[in-house]
């Protein structure tokens, strides 16, 4: 089965793209020389020895062939559509290889949407869920490892490395006991954040891996009643009437501690509250080739009386070794017109 995200040779170039976009560069080129991909600012790039070039523009593609590029070089232009999902334009000659296109299809929307949110002074949120064909993220007893596959795990670690912070709800921190670090790919660890309105994750009564190594984890809580947070965890209080926190207030708190892009890894309650509040910029849904028939659903939202009241998305997809990864962008609800068919 095809794993379209198996290309590790281009991964370091995406880490470079992250750094360039953070420094304010707006036009990038990915260049393939020898066996490696690199990423450079378009204005500085000498492409005479490149065999493939992917030009990336944050604005609609102008399709000007880079001056220093050889005529026989394979060339493709990436530009985002209005909804932020990718568009690839092959103007002339050969397109760049499909493995690079697949990596760009999944990771460039993340980087470009994060850069746009940063420019607006707000924190970008990419939500992620790994679910079965029948929309379950765990068994009824909470066991969920692993619904996804090896490629999903590597993808999750890539996302951690691309974004400033990774957040899980208290239920996930207590049930799955994740580390939230980057281990399966090269890349720096993100800020680790646990959302626990009641602060119960601070009183777990056992060592949780999310607090190890010490001192690096933030807990966002409305009520935090512990004198000594575990392993030097930083408690960030968000004012609220009860334990349920407004995602906008959570994001303001996260932004205040320097996290300008966030990977929301679950679970169902954290994801659902962010989706309901319209606080997810990009939702990645990994669909595994499995039916559970029971278990915890991916989302739990208030009932609606008509399908037009659901949350609509624009969708792109990639294949992950027999599973599917959907990149979903929320889109405005259509006008209420009763379709007839
Ligand atoms: N397949 C997957 O992709 C995936 C990913 C992650 C987790 N999981 C599974 O999901 C299950 C855990 O999910 P879960 O339903 O317990 O959800 P969860 O979001 O992990 O945890 C829920 C808890 O997080 C806190 N929380 C979430 N949203 C909040 C908000 N808006 N304001 C304040 N606090 C908030 C609350 O903590 P307090 O109680 O302290 O107030 C809440 O009780 C586990 O079985 C895990 O294995 C699956």
User: Would 57 be classed as within a structural domain?
Assistant: yes
Given a cut of 70, whether residue 272 has pLDDT beyond it is: yes
Q: Could you tell me if 190 and 254 lie in one domain?
A: yes
Model confidence over 242-253: pLDDT tens digits?
A: 889 999 999 999
User: Would 286 be classed as within a structural domain?
Assistant: yes
Distance between CA atoms of residues 168 and 296, nearest Å: 16
Overall number of domains in the chain? 2
Q: Could you tell me if 322 and 219 lie in one domain?
A: yes
Distance between CA atoms of residues 214 and 216, nearest Å: 6
User: Would 289 be classed as within a structural domain?
Assistant: yes
User: Would 253 be classed as within a structural domain?
Assistant: yes
Model confidence over 247-270: pLDDT tens digits?
A: 999 999 999 999 999 999 999 999
Asked if 55 contacts 77 with a C-beta cutoff of 8 angstroms, the reply is: yes
Q: Could you tell me if 271 and 182 lie in one domain?
A: yes
Confidence bin at 338 (pLDDT 50/70/90): low
**Domain hosting residue 66, numbered range:** 8-109
Q: Could you tell me if 217 and 282 lie in one domain?
A: yes
Closest by CA to 293, choosing from 130, 134, 131, is 134
Q: Could you tell me if 65 and 214 lie in one domain?
A: no
User: Would 275 be classed as within a structural domain?
Assistant: yes
Ligand 1 proximal residues by C-beta, below 6 Å: 129-130, 137-138, 142, 144, 147, 168-172, 175-176, 195-198, 200-201, 243-245, 247, 265-270, 273, 296
Question: Looking at residue 228, what is its pLDDT?
Answer: 80
User: Would 2 be classed as within a structural domain?
Assistant: no
Confidence bin at 57 (pLDDT 50/70/90): confident
User: Would 128 be classed as within a structural domain?
Assistant: yes
* 335 Cα–ligand 1 center, Å: 33
Question: Looking at residue 106, what is its pLDDT?
Answer: 98
Q: From 79, 109, 139, give the residue that closes a domain.
A: 109
204-241 burial string, b = 16+ CB within 10 Å, else e?
Answer: beeebebbeeeebbbbbbbebeeeebbeebebbebeee
Confidence bin at 66 (pLDDT 50/70/90): confident
Q: Could you tell me if 144 and 282 lie in one domain?
A: yes
Q: Could you tell me if 279 and 223 lie in one domain?
A: yes
Q: From 68, 86, 109, give the residue that closes a domain.
A: 109
* 216 Cα–ligand 1 center, Å: 20
* 229 DSSP assignment: -
Q: Could you tell me if 173 and 76 lie in one domain?
A: no
Give the mean pLDDT of the chain.
93
Question: Looking at residue 61, what is its pLDDT?
Answer: 61
Using the atom order of ligand 1, give the atom closest to the CA of residue 176: 47
Q: Could you tell me if 153 and 286 lie in one domain?
A: yes
């Amino acid at each position: 089965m095809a794993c379209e995200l198996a290309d590790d040779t281009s991964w370091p170039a995406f880490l470079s793209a992250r750094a360039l976009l953070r420094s304010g560069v707006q036009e990038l080129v990915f260049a393939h020389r020898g066996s490696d991909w690199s990423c450079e600012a378009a204005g500085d790039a000498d492409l005479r020895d490149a065999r493939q070039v992917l030009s990336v523009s944050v604005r609609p593609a102008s399709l000007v062939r880079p001056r220093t590029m050889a005529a026989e070089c394979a060339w493709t232009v990436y530009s985002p559509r209005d909804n932020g999902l990718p568009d690839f334009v092959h103007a002339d000659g050969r397109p760049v290889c499909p493995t690079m296109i697949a990596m760009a299809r999944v990771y460039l929307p993340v980087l470009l949407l994060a850069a746009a949110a940063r420019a607006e002074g707000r924190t970008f949120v990419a939500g992620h869920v790994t679910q079965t064909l029948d929309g379950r993220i765990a068994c009824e007893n909470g066991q969920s490892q692993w619904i996804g596959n090896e490629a999903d795990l590597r993808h999750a670690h890539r996302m951690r490395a691309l974004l400033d912070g990774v957040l899980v709800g208290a239920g996930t921190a207590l049930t799955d006991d994740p580390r939230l670090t980057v281990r399966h790919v090269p890349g720096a660890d993100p800020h680790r954040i646990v959302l626990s309105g009641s602060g119960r994750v601070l009183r777990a009564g056992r060592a949780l891996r999310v607090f190890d190594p010490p001192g690096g984890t933030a807990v966002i809580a409305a009520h935090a009643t512990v004198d000594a947070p575990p392993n030097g965890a930083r408690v960030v209080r968000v004012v609220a009437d009860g334990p349920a926190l407004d995602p906008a207030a959570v994001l303001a708190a996260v932004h205040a501690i320097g996290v300008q892009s966030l990977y929301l890894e679950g679970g169902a309650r954290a994801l659902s509250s962010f989706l309901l509040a319209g606080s997810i910029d990009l939702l990645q849904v990994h669909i595994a080739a499995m039916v559970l028939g029971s278990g915890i659903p991916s989302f739990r939202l208030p009932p609606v009386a008509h399908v037009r009241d659901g949350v609509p998305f624009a969708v792109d997809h990639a294949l992950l070794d027999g599973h599917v990864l959907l990149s979903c962008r929320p889109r405005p609800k259509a006008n209420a017109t009763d379709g007839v068919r």
